[in-house]
Chains A and B, each alone.
Chain A
Amino acid sequence: MANENDLFSHLEQILEMNPGTLQINQNVRELKTWDSLKLLEVIAFADSELHVELDAESLSKCGTVGDIVSLLSASVRSQQSGNR
C-alpha cells in the first residue's frame, strides 16, 4: 500500500487530526500534536504497514505533511526497486 491518499489518511490518524482537517501543505511543527514521539509513530507505521525503514534524518527534516507523504512514498519505491 503506497497510494499517497492512503498515506495522507494514515498521517491524519497519527497526527490525531479529524478526517478532512489536515492540509497537505500543513507545517507539522505548527501542529499541537507534533512532538518527538510522533517521529516514532511515523517510523512504526512505515515499519509495520509499509515494511520499510524510514530514514530518521530525512524524517526530521520534513517540514510539511506533504514532505512526509513524499518521504514515505519514496521509501516504498526505493524498497521495491531494490527488490527487483
Chain B
Amino acid sequence: MMKACVTATVYCLPEALLKNEDLAAKFGDWTADKIFEKTGIHERHIADVNECASDLAVLAGKKLLDQELCTREEVDFLLLCTQTPDYFLPTTACLVQDRLGLRTTCGALDFNLGCSGFVYGLGLAKGLIETGQARNILLITAETYSKFIHENDKSVRTIFGDGAAATLVQAVSLDGNLSIEAIGPFVYGTDGRGAENLIVPAGGMRQKDLVESAGPSRDAFGNERTSANLYMNGAEIFNFTLRTVPASVNQLLEKLQMHFEDFDWIVFHQANQYMLDHLQKKLRIPKERFVISMEQTGNTVSSSIPIALADLASTGRLKSGQRVMLVGFGVGYSWAATVICWRAGC
C-alpha cells in the first residue's frame, strides 16, 4: 500500500522589500531596531502591483519541478491554497496548471485557508494519494496579503509578508509497514466565532462595495483602514492561540503517545515571534527543536510553515527520516496539527 510522503519543498518571494527602516521612516514612533525587537522581523517581501498569487505560485512550482524529483507529466494533482486569488473565478489553480505546463488530465483546485492552510493541504494530499486518486501532488501555498493592507496600518504592515511555497507530496512504498505514517495523524479545528478578528470585510459577496464615503477609519492606535482592508484584532487572536494551540498539540501527542523530545523539529505557523516565544515557554518545547523562521519574510500566512521547512532542508538541518510536528492556526478561526516524516521511504 502506498503512503503519502512530503519529499521536497521550496519557496519564492517577491523582490520588493519592506524593511524596518522603511516602516520607522513612515511611522516614526518605532526605530528599526525596536520593530525587530517587537516582531522578530527585519524585512518582508511585497508583491508588485502586477504580481498576483498565480505568479508567485508558478515561480515556486517551477523551482520545485526543476529539482526533477518528478516531471511535469507525472504531476497528477495540484492543490493551491490562497486567500488572495487572481480572480473570484476561474480557479487560480487552473491558471497555474496551464502556466506550469501540467497535463490536462491533472486535477486542480483552490482552497481558501490562511495560517492553517498548509497542514490542511497535507491532509487533502494524503487523502488523495492513499485512496489511490493521485500519486504526485503539487501542494502550493501562495499569498499576497499586502494587497489587502492599508498603507497607514502599522499593526499589520509590520507583520505580514507575501510569498509562495511549493511542496511535493508523493506516493511512496514504506516496505509494507502499514503502521508507519509519513504524514499524520491529524488534529483539526474550526471556530467561526473568531471570524471577525482577522477579516477583510468588503469585496466578497457579503459586502461587495465599500460603504465608507469619508475615507478610512482610524483605530485607537492610529492605524487606518477601510472595510476593503485587512483588519486583525491581535489581542483576540492571541487569546485564541493560547486556548487552542496547546490543546491541539497535546491532542496530537496523546494520539501518538509521544513527547516533544520524540520530534526532531517542531514548526508552528510563523505568526509573530512574541507569540511563538510565549507558546514555546508555555508548552515547554525544547528551544533547540522549535523553529523560528520569519526574520526575512514576516508572516507569510499559509506559506510560513513550508518556508520554514524549506530553510531547514536547504541548510542541511532537516534530514531524511526526521520527524517534524507542524501546527497551523489563525484566520477563521482555523487550526490543524500533524506530523510528517521528511522524505520517508525515499
Q: Which residues of A contact B (CB under 8 A)?
A: 29, 32, 35-37, 39-41, 43-44, 47-48, 53-57, 59-60
Distance in Å: Cβ of B249 to nearest Cβ of chain A: 15
- State A47–B29 Cα separation when bound (angstroms): 28
Q: With a CB–CB cut-off of 8 A, which chain A residues contact B236?
A: 56-57
**Total A-B contacts with CB atoms under 8 angstroms apart:** 48
- State A40–B239 Cα separation when bound (angstroms): 9
Inter-chain contact A37/B38, CB cutoff 8 Å: yes
Q: With a CB–CB cut-off of 8 A, which chain A residues contact B282?
A: 47-48
Distance in Å: Cβ of B79 to nearest Cβ of chain A: 33
1/0 contact string of B213-246 vs chain A (CB within 8 Å) = 0000000110100000000011110110011000
- State A37–B99 Cα separation when bound (angstroms): 42
CB nearest neighbor in B for A47 = B242
Q: With a CB–CB cut-off of 8 A, which chain A residues contact B274?
A: 37, 40-41, 44
Inter-chain contact A53/B278, CB cutoff 8 Å: no
Give 4 nearest A-B pairs by CB, closest first: A56-B235, A39-B235, A56-B236, A44-B278
B275 at the interface (CB under 8 A from A): yes
Interface of B (DSSP majority class): helix
Inter-chain contact A40/B238, CB cutoff 8 Å: yes
Q: With a CB–CB cut-off of 8 A, which chain A residues contact B155?
A: 36
- State A44–B223 Cα separation when bound (angstroms): 23
B193 at the interface (CB under 8 A from A): no
B206 at the interface (CB under 8 A from A): no
Inter-chain contact A60/B234, CB cutoff 8 Å: no
Q: Check A53/B239 contact, CB under 8 A, given A36-B155, A44-B278, A48-B278.
A: yes
B281 at the interface (CB under 8 A from A): yes
Q: Check A53/B242 contact, CB under 8 A, given A37-B234, A44-B278.
A: yes
How many chain B residues have a CB neighbour from A under 8 Å? 19
Distance in Å: Cβ of B213 to nearest Cβ of chain A: 27
Distance in Å: Cβ of B175 to nearest Cβ of chain A: 45
Please name 16 pairs of A and B residues whose Cβ atoms are closer than 8 Å in the assembled complex, sorted by A: A32-B29, A35-B221, A37-B38, A37-B234, A37-B274, A39-B234, A39-B238, A40-B234, A41-B274, A43-B235, A43-B242, A48-B278, A48-B281, A53-B239, A55-B239, A56-B239
Distance in Å: Cβ of A57 to nearest Cβ of chain B: 8
- State A55–B236 Cα separation when bound (angstroms): 8
- State A47–B243 Cα separation when bound (angstroms): 10
Most buried by A among B223, B235, B238, B282: B235
- State A60–B242 Cα separation when bound (angstroms): 18
Inter-chain contact A54/B281, CB cutoff 8 Å: no
Q: With a CB–CB cut-off of 8 A, which chain A residues contact B235?
A: 36, 39-40, 43, 56, 59-60
Most buried by A among B29, B38, B155, B243: B38
Q: A36-B235, A48-B278 are in contact. List 13 more A-B contacts (CB 8 A).
A: A35-B29, A36-B155, A37-B274, A40-B234, A43-B239, A43-B242, A44-B238, A44-B278, A48-B282, A56-B236, A56-B238, A60-B220, A60-B235
Most buried by B among A29, A36, A59, A60: A36
Distance in Å: Cβ of B230 to nearest Cβ of chain A: 14
